[in-house]
């Protein structure tokens, strides 16, 4: 199958390579001419613009978007609509909010253009290991792109699934990322406690490797931890600041909307916010309140 990939960042470029390995022809476009040239050398068909990419596709055209969520995705879809025809398909493989995906699906349906929202997990390891694809869309549209999904997934029969109607793919990926926040927070707290027991002088690399085998907590996250702890246990060169991509926030908002308790996921998100707080104003307030009612010591900057 021939398709277009719009957006050749870390994920998009690797997905192009995996698709080509699966026997597909990929027309690629990105605002960076350097990455287009790099991918062309690997066998990708280059495009100078989105319009140029679409012109190189047979009907029905399949366009996969791997661009940032929000306005960039909105703009890309708006730009694509005049270029596409009835029966063509747009796939959003980025981390869009599922409400946006439902809106995009309804908009494209007015033009008889199919839409698929694909929650895409696998990160920089997807090229080697395959991607986990959580797909939302109409059955006939998803069936048309099955060859693409099977090539991107670890195998034809696993690592991808049509999970529901339009919006369901990104909703599933949103919850997936919320769970990811909780798992990462749990591991980080546990290893902080292990390191804090100085009298035992525990070897973090040894323990992470130990737990990878027949332990209840074995996971890919633990595998990754074991890899970097084997190189550096102190992590002294890493700033203790953890970014959040947005999907953790959406997951917590969803828990509020549904009235479903999600304390672990919510607190994991709050801990990321705490790590990003360069001002520390709330903690300064706490220190001053303790001083005001109890005369407790206030630590000055100097």
Catalytic residues: 173, 180
CA-CA distance, 291 to 286, in Å (whole number)? Answer: 9
* Angle at alpha carbon of residue 94, lines to 248 and 132, rounded to 5°: 85
* Phi-psi group of 87: left, alpha or beta (phi > 0 → left; psi -120 to 50 → alpha; rest → beta): left
Burial of 241 (0-12, 13-18, 19+ CB in 10 A): exposed
Going across the sheet that includes 160-164, the strands are 45-46, 25-29, 2-6, 62-65, 89-92, 114-121, 132-136, 160-164
Structure tokens at 130: 């395959």
Distance CA 112, CA 31 (A): 28
How far is Cα 126 from Cα 118, in angstroms, rounded to an integer?
15
Rg over alpha carbons for the chain, rounded to the nearest Å, is 23
What is the C-alpha to C-alpha distance for residues 46 and 226, in angstroms, rounded to an integer?
A: 39
First to last CA, the chain: 65
């Amino acid at each position: 199958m021939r398709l277009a990939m719009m957006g050749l960042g870390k994920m998009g470029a690797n997905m192009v390579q995996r698709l080509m390995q699966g026997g597909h022809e990929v027309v690629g476009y990105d605002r960076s001419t350097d990455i287009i040239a790099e991918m062309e050398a690997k066998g990708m068909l280059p495009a100078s613009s989105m319009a140029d990419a679409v012109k190189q596709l047979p009907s029905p055209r399949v366009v996969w978007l791997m661009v940032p969520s929000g306005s960039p995705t909105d703009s890309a879809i708006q730009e694509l609509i005049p270029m596409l025809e009835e029966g063509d398909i747009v796939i959003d493989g980025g981390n869009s909010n599922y409400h946006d995906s439902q809106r995009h699906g309804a908009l494209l349906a007015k033009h008889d253009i199919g839409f698929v929202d694909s929650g895409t997990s696998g990160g920089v390891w997807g090229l080697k290991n395959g991607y986990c694809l959580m797909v939302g869309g109409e059955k006939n549209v998803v069936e048309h792109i099955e060859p693409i999904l099977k090539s991107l997934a670890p195998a034809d029969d696993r690592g991808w699934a049509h999970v529901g109607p339009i919006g369901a793919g990104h909703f599933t990926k949103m919850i997936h990322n919320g769970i990811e926040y909780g798992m990462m927070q749990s591991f980080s707290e546990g290893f902080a406690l292990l390191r804090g027991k100085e009298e035992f002088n525990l070897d973090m690399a040894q323990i992470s490797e130990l737990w990878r085998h027949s332990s209840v907590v074995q996971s890919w996250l633990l595998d990754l931890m074991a890899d970097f702890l084997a190189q550096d246990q102190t992590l002294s060169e890493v700033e203790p600041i953890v970014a959040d991509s947005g999907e953790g926030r959406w997951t917590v908002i969803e828990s509020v909307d549904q009235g479903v308790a999600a304390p672990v996921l919510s607190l994991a998100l709050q801990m990321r916010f705490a790590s990003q707080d360069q001002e520390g104003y709330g903690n300064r307030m706490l220190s001053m309140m303790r001083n005001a009612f109890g005369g407790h010591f206030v630590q000055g900057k100097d």
